[in-house]
Structure 1
Amino acid sequence: MTQRQGAAPTCGRLLLLLWLVLAPGSLLAQGINQSEPLTVHPRQSLTTIERSFALPTWGEATLFDRRRETLPETVPAFFRDSTLKADLRTYYRDKVTTGTQPAAVTEAWAAGGSLSWESGKLFERLHGGVTLYTSLPLYAPEAYGNTGLLLPNQSGFAVVGELYGKVDLPLDHTVTAGRYTWSTPYVGRQDNRMVPNTFYGYMLTGSQEDKGRDLSVRYGGGYLATIKQRDSDTFMSMAQAAGAPVDRGTVAGGAVLTWGPASIGAFEYYTRDILNILYAEGSYGAEAWPAVEAMLSIQAADQRATGANLLTGSYFSTGQLGVRLQVGADPVMVTAAFSQVGGGAAMQNPWSNNPFYTDGLVLDYQRAGEGALLLGGTVNLRHVGLPGVTVQLQFFDGWTTAAPGGPLVESEWDVTVDWRPQVMLPGLWFRFDYGVAQTWQGSSYTRSNEVRAILNYRVRVF
């Protein structure tokens, strides 16, 4: 085992950190919600398009749930109906890359999260909110930076990531302006580190529902001028975040239609002289036979340069197609997925997670011309005396002949363990990830080992 200068071996340090994280009394140092917990039900394993225009919800503890009942009726609804939430998180990440090139290490342990206040409604129409995000280093050697948990130099930060106002319009429409979070395939929270992406701009969202036909549609669109990325305390233009040396905003919009067990949606993102992205996805879930659920999902994206081609200096065009099948019979679910990238260029995800099914813990399998296969299984361990514990094992295999440098092959094994003690401690969620990835390209070989340990605690103060 390689030992880093001035530090204990990775395994020993990790065990010590896990003990500190799980030690009694540590809840007050824990963190905000990260994506969604594991599930063994295909219909609950929502696709990227199905999560659009919705925030992650996985439960929370409540301290003063009867506060409103104790307030005088003369208190304006703007204050009486307000909410205060603390999303706390501690996160350890360690990635070691070895091979034909010199070894590279990124490592940090951070604590922080967010404190958010949202008002009640003024004149039954106007409301708003503010969210303070912070990430502070607990263990962060300067030489091992760029973990995404802190600033690139391993410094902590605090930032008002959300400061917004809303106007509720007739027919279930809302206008939001200011700093806020978006949840769409290519403009999203990317909440897989300490704090999420947030955006500055304005948007109109709406929804319509026909309960009799089990039919609903959610839609929205707007203009996003800037983004605060997950490892930053400043906002930059959407174009700069994509890698272009100019200030440009992004116009985005889309809709999601759900009809019984089926859903379909599409989103468009346009940044003048930079990039245009079109994304579409559909899924259908059914009960294959008693107690067995199945879900088939298909996704496609098209990316291309626009106008003056300021992103790369020349025109490019590429795309990606993906398909996923999930079959579950509680407490087990199996997953198989495949994706293919066009040969023109690699796919880009400058403002969100990679939305494709074949996104691994270490690698994203989005190189030019890359085909990727995913095989995985998820099991809930409550039947063996471990309630709230879910384990997932995934294998990825990718290959391409169009990558710069010649033909390339890469593979990855990922293990994820979730623990959610919903009865004893609602709002608590612990996740452990381990991934090992290997890449071969001619005489070059790279191996990456990554460990993540995250403890989230969500509490609604009132």
Structure 2
Amino acid sequence: MLMSLTGGVIAEPGPAYLAAEAPVTPELRGDRSATATVGAIPEDLLNQYDPFAVLPRKWLPSLREKYIPKTGHSFVDGIQFEVKPRFYYFHRDVESEGIQETAAFGGELGVESGWFRDWFRVGLTLYTSQKIYGPSDRDGLNLLAPGQHGYTALGEAYADFRHGENLLRAGRSRVDLPYINANDFRMTPHTFEMVGFRIASIENLRIGAGHVARIKTQTSTDFESMSSVAGSDQGDRGVSIVSLRYEFSDETFVAASEQYGWDMFNSFYVEAETLIEWSDDLKLELGVQFTDQRSVGDEWLGDFKTQSAGVKVALQYCNFAAALSYQRTANGSGVLKPWGGSPAYNSSIIQDFDRAGEESFRLGLTYDFAPHGLDGVSVDTSWIIGDTPDSGSQASPDQQEFDFTIDYKPSVELFDGVWFRARYAKNWIDEGNDIEDIRFILNYSYQF
């Protein structure tokens, strides 16, 4: 209900939180849009970035078959394990403020049962991040807990109930919706205490609904109410969700998500995309998105309203893709996103370009080096220019950002599941403090 198709590929431009989940490629596909899932449940537990262990992938399954005998009960025999280590080095230089720097190792260990009589299963996921390097005076990058301390948390513990293609989930889980999502941009993701269901038995249409009560943020070990994480100290409130996605074909869809934060604010998001395939080598993708956000109920976070809209066009030719997108946010307020990453097309490595009155343009280029004998190597680069009001209550400095990513997923069996990523980003703020990032990330995921 909240997550599906996370194993897909993504071509830029695209929301930064989605680009963090899989290597970039020039392939244009809509299955990793912000609305690829509906409701409040992932399609699968074992659906992140692919398997780590410096062992051939075939060894562990053989050990499992040898030491874990079959019982004849699908609930036990269908158990799946996933180990997903991650190494992350992050160096940030903020002009006039100094350097932030952390290196951490951690990741997650997940287990999910088989289906009991084809209608019930359970799952658990443990998350951890431990310090390799992190001076206390260079804190602030959210790879570790405040003070550069390691942490471990039970981030997921849920039960699934299904009937045919329809599914209900209750417990602690990842969520993948616009503005409420895992935002797996650091060492570990956001997870949520929630209940939700997905109806997928209607042809071409998926409908979901649910309620999210609490959130465990990236470096926390505790679940807090959605309202307190949003910045209110007046009580505990959650967010109710209704969403749908209609696929006219494999190439065209329209989707919407309604997220009502009780006594806080309501977020309505809608997007539509279509892919035009002139040939296997030449494709054109067109997309539009719109967000309306406004305070509701007792307005614990204040009285506000805003809108943000974006359009994108992307062209793929063989192993190269170019994309252009435009984003505009209304003058009333910047977009609030306390519970996850932004779905905005111009959301980038450092900034989201959705401040009050901001309009931004983004040019993205993606290239796959496979035709040159470098299988698994791809690069992506983006340039974003943001312009904001020069006067008035919403005046803020203009900004620009340059992002560069190189991904490598070895194609040899010994390193099946390894994904190495290097990223560079620089954000320039007029008459402000420029920010420069360098990141090295090693992912691995192993299912058995």
TM-score normalised by the chain length of structure 2: 0.88
| SS of equivalent residue, structure 2 residue 357 | coil
The 1:114–1:345 alpha-carbon spacing in structure 2 relative to 1, beyond 3 Å, is same
Q: Report the Cα offset of residue 259 of structure 1.
A: 2.0
| SS of equivalent residue, structure 2 residue 433 | strand
The 1:96–1:81 alpha-carbon spacing in structure 2 relative to 1, beyond 3 Å, is same
Q: Report the Cα offset of residue 152 of structure 1.
A: 2.0
Structure 2 CA distance for aligned equivalents of residues 94 and 165 of structure 1: 39
> Paired residue for 1:114?
108
> Paired residue for 2:416?
426
> Paired residue for 2:337?
349
Could you report, residue by residue, the CA deviation over 1:103-148 in whole angstroms, capped at 9, with x for unpaired residues? 2332100000000010012232111011100000100111111211
> Paired residue for 2:184?
191
Q: Report the Cα offset of residue 154 of structure 1.
A: 1.0
Question: Which of structures 1 and 2 has the bigger CA Rg?
Answer: 1
2:277 maps to a residue whose letter is E
> Paired residue for 2:139?
145
Q: Report the Cα offset of residue 422 of structure 1.
A: 3.0
| SS of equivalent residue, structure 1 residue 43 | coil
> Paired residue for 1:249?
238
> Paired residue for 2:349?
361
| SS of equivalent residue, structure 1 residue 230 | coil
> Paired residue for 2:305?
317
| SS of equivalent residue, structure 1 residue 150 | coil
Counterpart selection for 2:290 from 300, 324, 347:
300
The 1:126–1:46 alpha-carbon spacing in structure 2 relative to 1, beyond 3 Å, is closer
> Paired residue for 1:47?
33
> Paired residue for 1:173?
166
Structure 2 CA distance for aligned equivalents of residues 289 and 165 of structure 1: 44
Structure 2 CA distance for aligned equivalents of residues 284 and 379 of structure 1: 22
Could you report, residue by residue, the CA deviation over 1:28-87 in whole angstroms, capped at 9, with x for unpaired residues? xxxxx9512101111267321125545655543454445786666544221111001101
Answer yes or no: is 1:279 the counterpart of 2:252.
no
Answer yes or no: is 1:370 the counterpart of 2:358.
yes
Counterpart selection for 1:95 from 92, 95, 104:
92
CA contact (8 A) 1:50 1:263 kept: no
Structure 2 CA distance for aligned equivalents of residues 423 and 343 of structure 1: 52
Answer yes or no: is 1:35 the counterpart of 2:25.
no
The 1:288–1:233 alpha-carbon spacing in structure 2 relative to 1, beyond 3 Å, is same
CA contact (8 A) 2:158 2:172 kept: yes
Answer yes or no: is 1:225 the counterpart of 2:203.
no
> Paired residue for 1:436?
426
Structure 2 CA distance for aligned equivalents of residues 58 and 143 of structure 1: 32
> Paired residue for 1:416?
405
Counterpart selection for 1:399 from 387, 391, 395:
387
CA contact (8 A) 2:356 2:388 kept: yes
Counterpart selection for 1:160 from 139, 146, 154:
154
CA contact (8 A) 1:303 1:347 kept: yes
Answer yes or no: is 1:125 the counterpart of 2:119.
yes
Structure 1 CA distance for aligned equivalents of residues 247 and 48 of structure 2: 19
CA contact (8 A) 1:42 1:293 kept: yes
Q: Report the Cα offset of residue 340 of structure 1.
A: 0.1
2:34 maps to a residue whose letter is T
Structure 1 CA distance for aligned equivalents of residues 202 and 227 of structure 2: 36
> Paired residue for 1:201?
194
CA contact (8 A) 2:379 2:407 kept: yes
1:182 maps to a residue whose letter is V
1:94 maps to a residue whose letter is H
CA contact (8 A) 1:63 1:459 kept: no
Answer yes or no: is 1:458 the counterpart of 2:448.
no
Q: Report the Cα offset of residue 302 of structure 1.
A: 0.6
Structure 2 CA distance for aligned equivalents of residues 121 and 128 of structure 1: 8
**What pairs up with 1:325-336 in 2 under 5 angstroms?**
325-336=313-324
Structure 2 CA distance for aligned equivalents of residues 368 and 126 of structure 1: 46
Answer yes or no: is 1:447 the counterpart of 2:421.
no
CA contact (8 A) 2:356 2:394 kept: no
Could you report, residue by residue, the CA deviation over 1:163-194 in whole angstroms, capped at 9, with x for unpaired residues? 1111112x411111111111111211100100
Answer yes or no: is 1:238 the counterpart of 2:231.
no
Counterpart selection for 2:76 from 75, 79, 98:
79
The 1:145–1:72 alpha-carbon spacing in structure 2 relative to 1, beyond 3 Å, is closer
| SS of equivalent residue, structure 1 residue 111 | strand
The 1:74–1:435 alpha-carbon spacing in structure 2 relative to 1, beyond 3 Å, is closer
Structure 2 CA distance for aligned equivalents of residues 141 and 72 of structure 1: 48
Deviates more, 1:279-288 or 1:68-77: 68-77
Structure 2 CA distance for aligned equivalents of residues 209 and 77 of structure 1: 28
Structure 1 CA distance for aligned equivalents of residues 71 and 131 of structure 2: 44
Q: Report the Cα offset of residue 355 of structure 1.
A: 0.8
Structure 2 CA distance for aligned equivalents of residues 156 and 72 of structure 1: 36
CA RMSD of aligned residues (A): 2.0
Could you report, residue by residue, the CA deviation over 1:409-436 in whole angstroms, capped at 9, with x for unpaired residues? 1101111000011333221101111001
Structure 2 CA distance for aligned equivalents of residues 44 and 309 of structure 1: 35
Q: Report the Cα offset of residue 369 of structure 1.
A: 0.4
2:315 maps to a residue whose letter is V
Identical positions, percent? 28
CA contact (8 A) 2:331 2:394 kept: no
Counterpart selection for 2:368 from 373, 380, 401:
380
Structure 1 CA distance for aligned equivalents of residues 59 and 81 of structure 2: 10
Segments of 5+ residues of structure 1 without an aligned counterpart are: 1-32, 211-215
Structure 1 CA distance for aligned equivalents of residues 147 and 332 of structure 2: 35
Structure 2 CA distance for aligned equivalents of residues 378 and 161 of structure 1: 34
The 1:191–1:262 alpha-carbon spacing in structure 2 relative to 1, beyond 3 Å, is same
The 1:270–1:47 alpha-carbon spacing in structure 2 relative to 1, beyond 3 Å, is same
Structure 1 CA distance for aligned equivalents of residues 253 and 292 of structure 2: 20
Q: Say how many residue pairs are matched.
A: 415
Structure 2 CA distance for aligned equivalents of residues 97 and 155 of structure 1: 22
Structure 1 CA distance for aligned equivalents of residues 187 and 146 of structure 2: 13
